[in-house]
Amino acid sequence: MKAVVYTHCRPIDAEDALLDMSLPDPAPRKRDLLVEVKAVSVNPVDTKLRRHADPVGEPRVLGFDAAGVVRALGAEVTHFGIGDEVWYAGAINRPGANAELQLVDERLVARRPRRLTIAEAAAMPLTTLTAWEMLFDRLQVPRAGAGSLLIIGAAGGVGSMAIQLARHRTELTIIATASRPESVDWCRRLGAHYVIDHQGDIPSQLADLGFRAVDYIFSTNASDQHWPAMVRAIRPQGRIGLIDDPAPLDVRDLKQKSVSLHWEAMFTRSLFETPDMVEQQRILESVAALVDGGQVHSTLTEHLGHINAANLTLAHRLIESGKMRGKIVLEGF
């Protein structure tokens, strides 16, 4: 099968940062689906692994967003059949989606939304799971009742899904942060009630909107830089959620307000095969229903063509620029 791999940690401008390669076709076991990959998306985790995690023993295939078609089943598969069209984010400790064929545990997979193209569907799984798990599993935001949610870095892939899920599944007032005019407009179109600039004084901007403090903060990036502002902006007994890898934070800053800090790592369930691993299938099923009902929309903003080393190199470069809005997708080999 065709695949795109990396063999050593390299900066993205290195000639061999990503390579086209032919690999043996994998065979499904137990609860595996063998999926013919039709489209993939690119996430910051791809670039972090390429830069910092040398493959051990053999080239590594990245890619943690995919939409495709089931071509073969492991002996213990119960939920899918051959020919099913699916979407998923996969597992960080298995070969990724930047290949013609991929094995993925059925508990991490759902049938894709019918309303979307295959490329539009591929843009969504990882960010959907991250946003859902943070909002509803970690921060435990309520479905009903008043409250306020501040999303820092809201124009990126995760923030884009967090805005939509919060808007359509809660009654919270959503305050997004964005720093460029096109990003501000993007957040508003996705459903943010207010948009402020994270390059400015966040608590002062909140006060100008009439918020002395907010009930929940979801920080998607640069959390160490925004930490003092978050400490000031969160209400007593509020909740803060982080998904990035910030410099060390002094969590003692939260004690006076009895604020709780929550981490979200989307791969936790698959990496440790937690008893509730199938919850990711259920989340993707729920979001597929929201998509097909017209409530939630794909966050695809850049389609870079076929899945190959040259186009994935461009995608990695765009991700590393820190200026991406929405998601990058590649389709077909």
Computed over every residue of the chain, the mean pLDDT equals 97
pLDDT at 205: 98
**144 has a pLDDT exceeding 90:** no
Hey, what are 199's tokens? 């390059």
Hey, what are 207's tokens? 């006060």
Q: Count of residues for the chain?
A: 333
CATH number reported for the structural domain that contains residue 190 in this entry: 3.40.50.720
Close Cβ partners of 112 (under 8 Å, ≥ 6 residues apart): 67, 85, 86, 87, 118, 121, 288
pLDDT at 246: 96
For residues 151 and 156, give the distance between their C-alpha atoms in angstroms, rounded to a whole number.
11
294: pLDDT confidence band, cut at 50, 70 and 90? very high
Average pLDDT score over residue span 138-142: 96
Assess whether 98 and 136 both reside in one domain. Answer: no
End position of a domain, from candidates 216, 238, 263: 263
Assess whether 246 and 203 both reside in one domain. Answer: yes
**322 has a pLDDT exceeding 90:** no
pLDDT at 299: 95
pTM of the model: 0.96
pLDDT at 288: 98
Assess whether 22 and 118 both reside in one domain. Answer: yes
In the 8-state DSSP scheme, what is residue 139?
A: S
CATH number reported for the structural domain that contains residue 73 in this entry: 3.90.180.10
Residues 210-258 have pLDDT tens digits of 999 999 999 999 999 999 999 999 999 999 999 999 999 999 999 999 9
Give the whole-number percent of the chain exceeding pLDDT 70: 100
pLDDT at 56: 86
9: pLDDT confidence band, cut at 50, 70 and 90? very high
Per the CB < 8 A criterion, the answer to whether 65 and 38 are in contact is no
For residues 18 and 127, give the distance between their C-alpha atoms in angstroms, rounded to a whole number.
23
97: pLDDT confidence band, cut at 50, 70 and 90? very high
Assess whether 6 and 28 both reside in one domain. Answer: yes
Assess whether 241 and 317 both reside in one domain. Answer: no
Assess whether 243 and 170 both reside in one domain. Answer: yes
Average pLDDT score over residue span 121-126: 98
Assess whether 142 and 218 both reside in one domain. Answer: yes
**22 has a pLDDT exceeding 90:** yes
- Residue span of the structural domain in which 199 resides: 127-263
Number of domains the chain contains? 2
Close Cβ partners of 188 (under 8 Å, ≥ 6 residues apart): 195
Q: What is the DSSP string of 138-206?
A: IS---SSS--EEEEETTTSHHHHHHHHHHHHH---EEEEE--SHHHHHHHHHHT-SEEE-TTS-HHHHH
End position of a domain, from candidates 263, 297, 315: 263
Assess whether 25 and 113 both reside in one domain. Answer: yes
pLDDT at 323: 79
Assess whether 147 and 164 both reside in one domain. Answer: yes
82 alpha carbon, distance to own chain's centre: 27
End position of a domain, from candidates 214, 241, 263: 263
Assess whether 219 and 254 both reside in one domain. Answer: yes
57 alpha carbon, distance to own chain's centre: 28
Residues 145-156 have pLDDT tens digits of 889 999 999 999
Residues 62-74 have pLDDT tens digits of 999 999 999 999 9
For residues 137 and 321, give the distance between their C-alpha atoms in angstroms, rounded to a whole number.
31
Assess whether 120 and 135 both reside in one domain. Answer: no
pLDDT at 324: 84
138 alpha carbon, distance to own chain's centre: 15
Assess whether 133 and 241 both reside in one domain. Answer: yes
